[in-house]
């Protein structure tokens, strides 16, 4: 009888011990560090203390103006450099420090702060560091494989310098990256700048980023079944918001349908003035952005391109050599930009 009681007591003690370990792994993020180990363990940082100083540069202030984490999320582990992103064979290793913010952007939604939960942050760091790094000699940049979705991860290293890692999605899972590292001399170091592009090859990383930033695939059927369109023009001193009429919605759908599908073209935020929220007959929301001065309509999961005026011979040749398509094919669809401006800009 005594042996049975002892055995039960041991089981109860072990059970509470396991539960206690799980609770420890889920406590607040303060003074915890993520590693890229397979077991996803959270361990205290053992190398260098992270400075409490905050970079004062305008670039950093602009990044955190979107939002930042209130909990301190530390990256630690003996394998990390104290200050720099390290490329070890075909892998990328982020430095020691703390993660400040994660920003996401898609064709239909402007850049914004993403409140990523602890599990997804840990997963994101692990997938970044497990992805294979390839260069532009291995992967030829193909405009038509670009997905208009990106994520920015902003860190502060142990020297209180900010590091921004930007990842741009690619349908072939060769996601282009750019690393901006603030130097104490005031000159940022940029890794992955054109033409020396770098890529992270990983299907898991691409799928995770899509999930985090809310990227979704939109079909032509979705676009043809739009019933309601709400428009907000943010270019003026005060927002102008209105809904399209049934007649305007028909013009909107017909204009989009008459144009060939294109993939992303970069615009500065100054051009992305008109925010569009369309609702289909099935209640599905489609987010879009119209650039009145640039003639580009960004749609989640789709991208349509509209051109103003003529494209010069040099531009046409550059488009063909760089992106593999002829500008003349798209010029024959002229007039769409004007039609959309008539109903979207007020």
Model confidence over 183-204: pLDDT tens digits?
A: 766 677 888 876 678 999 999 9
Q: How confident is the model at residue 211 (pLDDT cuts 50, 70, 90)?
A: very high
- List, in sequence order, the alpha helices (H) in 46-175: 58-64, 118-130
Pairing state between β 132-135 and 198-201 = antiparallel
Query: Mean pLDDT of all residues in the chain?
Result: 75
* Neighbouring C-alpha atoms within 13 Å toward the C-beta of 238: 0
Per-residue pLDDT, 189: 86
* Axis-axis angle for helices 118-130, 203-213 (nearest 10): 150
Do residues 154 and 103 make contact, with C-beta atoms less than 8 angstroms apart? yes
Per-residue pLDDT, 291: 77
Report CA 59 to chain centroid distance, whole Å: 18
Q: How confident is the model at residue 71 (pLDDT cuts 50, 70, 90)?
A: confident
Prior bond to 255 cis, omega within 30?
A: no
Q: Among residues 109, 77, 120, which one has the least CA distance to residue 95?
A: 77
Question: For residue 174, what is the enclosing H or E element?
Answer: strand 174-181
| 201 token code pair | 């090859």
Per-residue pLDDT, 14: 37
Quick one: 345 exposed, middle or buried, by C-beta within 10 A (0-12, 13-18, 19+)?
Answer: middle
Query: Using CA atoms, how far apart are residues 202 and 146, in angstroms rounded to an integer?
Result: 15
Only one residue has tokens 């003074």, namely: 31
SS3 of residue 26 by DSSP: coil
Q: How confident is the model at residue 30 (pLDDT cuts 50, 70, 90)?
A: very low
| 292 token code pair | 């009145």
pLDDT surpasses 70 at 275: yes
Per-residue pLDDT, 28: 29
Comparing 106 with 262, the larger pLDDT belongs to: 106
Comparing 230 with 266, the larger pLDDT belongs to: 230
Where exactly are the structural domains of the chain?
28-213, 220-344
DSSP label of 143: G
- List, in sequence order, the alpha helices (H) in the chain: 2-25, 58-64, 118-130, 203-213, 220-224, 246-257, 313-323, 327-331, 336-344
pLDDT surpasses 70 at 254: yes
Per-residue pLDDT, 15: 36
Phi, psi of 175 (to 5 degrees): -85, 120
Q: How confident is the model at residue 229 (pLDDT cuts 50, 70, 90)?
A: very high
**Which class would CATH give 220-344?**
alpha beta
Task: Give, in order, the Cα–Cα distances in Å from 278 to each of 54, 223, 264, 302, 305.
Answer: 40, 9, 20, 14, 18
Query: Using CA atoms, how far apart are residues 176 and 192, in angstroms rounded to an integer?
Result: 8
Query: Using CA atoms, how far apart are residues 202 and 303, in angstroms rounded to an integer?
Result: 23
Q: Among residues 290, 187, 284, 159, which one has the least CA distance to residue 232?
A: 290
SS3 of residue 189 by DSSP: strand
Do residues 178 and 153 make contact, with C-beta atoms less than 8 angstroms apart? no
Render pLDDT for 81-138 as a digit per residue (tens, 0 to 9): 989 999 988 999 999 999 999 999 987 888 999 999 989 999 999 999 999 999 876 7
SS3 of residue 144 by DSSP: helix
Supply the pTM of this predicted model.
0.74
Query: Using CA atoms, how far apart are residues 143 and 303, in angstroms rounded to an integer?
Result: 12
Q: How confident is the model at residue 144 (pLDDT cuts 50, 70, 90)?
A: low
Per-residue pLDDT, 8: 38
Question: Of 197-211, 296-310, 329-343, which range is least confident?
Answer: 296-310
């Amino acid at each position: 009888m005594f042996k049975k009681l002892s055995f039960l007591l041991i089981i109860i003690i072990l059970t509470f011990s396991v539960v206690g370990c799980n609770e420890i792994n889920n406590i607040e993020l303060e003074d915890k560090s993520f590693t890229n180990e397979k077991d996803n363990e959270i361990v205290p940082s053992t190398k260098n203390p992270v400075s409490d100083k905050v970079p004062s540069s305008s670039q950093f202030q602009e990044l955190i103006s979107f939002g930042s984490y209130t909990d301190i999320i530390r990256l630690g582990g003996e394998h990390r450099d104290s200050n720099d992103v390290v490329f070890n064979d075909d892998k990328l290793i982020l430095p020691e420090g703390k993660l400040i913010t994660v920003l996401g952007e898609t064709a239909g939604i402007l850049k914004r702060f993403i409140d990523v939960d602890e599990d997804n942050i840990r997963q994101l760091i692990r997938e970044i560091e497990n992805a294979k790094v390839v260069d532009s000699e291995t992967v030829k940049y193909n405009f038509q494989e670009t997905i208009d979705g990106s994520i920015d991860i902003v860190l502060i290293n142990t020297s209180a310098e900010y590091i921004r890692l930007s990842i741009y999605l690619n349908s072939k899972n060769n996601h282009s990256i750019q690393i901006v590292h603030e130097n104490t001399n005031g000159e940022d170091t940029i890794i992955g700048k054109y033409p020396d592009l770098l890529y992270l090859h990983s299907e898991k990383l691409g799928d995770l980023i899509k999930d985090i930033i809310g990227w979704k695939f939109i079909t032509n059927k979705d676009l043809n079944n739009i019933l309601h369109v709400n428009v907000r023009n943010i270019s003026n001193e005060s927002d102008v918001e209105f809904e399209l009429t049934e007649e305007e919605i028909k013009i909107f759908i017909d204009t989009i349908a008459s144009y060939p599908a294109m993939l992303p073209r970069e615009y500065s935020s100054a051009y992305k003035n008109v925010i569009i929220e369309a609702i289909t007959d099935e209640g599905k929301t489609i987010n879009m952005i119209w650039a009145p001065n640039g003639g580009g309509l960004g749609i989640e999961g789709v991208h349509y391109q509209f051109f103003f005026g003529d494209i010069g011979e040099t531009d046409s040749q550059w488009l063909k050599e760089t992106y593999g398509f002829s500008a003349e094919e798209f010029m024959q669809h002229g007039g769409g930009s004007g039609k959309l401006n008539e109903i979207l800009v007020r």
